Amino acid sequence: MNNENIGEKIIGRQAEYLKILLGAFLIVLIVFFGAKAKNEIENKGRTMENIPTISVGAEGRVFAKPDIGEIVLAVFHEAKTVSEAQKQSAETINKIMNFLRAAGVEEKDVKTTNYGINPQYDYIEGKQIFRGYQVSQNLQVKIRKLENSGNIISGAADNGANIVGGLNFTVDDPDLLKTEARGRAIEKAKAKAKKLAEDLNVKLGKLISFNESAYFPYPISSYKGEMMAVGGVAPEIPTGENEITANVSLIYEIK
């Protein structure tokens, strides 16, 4: 047998192997697309609206003692000229700032939230008569030593704050408490879904939806006043507790 005949036989065998491989590949494709088509036909029209489900909701609550207090101090002065009103306001603000520093309040915890200059008028017999200018400035103060809240409130008023108010107690870093509240809500929802499935004599399938609402931290039995003038004896300021809630809803498929 010469080399030419041997080469032809090798080429022929390779062609046969190629045909076999192509045939096997076509069979795999037919099976794959056939199964896919069958699955699509079986699930045709099977949308979220008509899948049998169990839907449950639950709320998780966490209570925490506040570690931060916030108040708003307002100062306003009136004078014939803007410069004089600004001078008087600056003197009062500086006096209050010195008091706050002495009370242990850091610079980073004091922020100006409003500064305004407004003309003032009297109305006499229907006529508008210019009276002068009013300069106003609001300071937002964060109190980290809550036991000093009463002294800071009365001391700010004694040092020239015309209005002290907006007192609010909260948690400086609520993320950990939010996570805990969410975890409690999820566990309650899962237990509720399990009990409901038992009562209905069905089995829970996979979780197909999860929703979570916003958190609503608010103080419980704490003093939260509107803007008010104060002064004199330091008031007793109970801080109470803050409640952080999380609401979740779970939807399970029924097997």
Mean pLDDT along residues 40-69: 79
Instruction: Give the pLDDT band (50/70/90) at residue 119.
Output: very high
User: What is the token pair recorded at 93?
Assistant: 């603000």
Instruction: Please say if the pLDDT value at position 236 is more than 60.
Output: yes
CA distance 64 to 243: 7
| pLDDT at res. 222 | 38
Residue 163 phi/psi, 5° resolution?
-135, 135
pLDDT in tens, 207-233: 999 999 866 555 543 333 344 444 556
Residues 6+ apart with CB under 8 A from 54: 193, 196, 197, 200, 202, 204, 251, 252, 254
Residues 164-199: b if buried by 16+ CB within 10 A, e if exposed: bbbbbbbbeebeebbebbbebbbebbbeebeeebee
pLDDT in tens, 1-28: 555 555 555 556 666 766 776 666 677 6
Domain ranges of the chain: 1-44, 53-255
The top-level CATH class assigned to 53-255 is alpha beta
Instruction: Please say if the pLDDT value at position 87 is more than 70.
Output: yes
| pLDDT at res. 105 | 95
Please give the mean pLDDT across all residues of the chain.
Answer: 83
CA distance 251 to 162: 55
Q: For residue 11, give the amino acid letter.
A: I
Instruction: Give the pLDDT band (50/70/90) at residue 29.
Output: low
Question: Which is higher by pLDDT, 167 or 214?
Answer: 167
| pLDDT at res. 213 | 83
Residues 6+ apart with CB under 8 A from 144: 67, 68, 69, 105, 106, 109, 172
pLDDT in tens, 185-207: 999 999 999 999 999 999 999 99
3-state secondary structure at position 251:
strand
Mean pLDDT along residues 102-131: 94
Mean pLDDT along residues 236-244: 83
For 248, what's the count of Cα atoms within 13 Å in the CB-facing half-sphere? 23
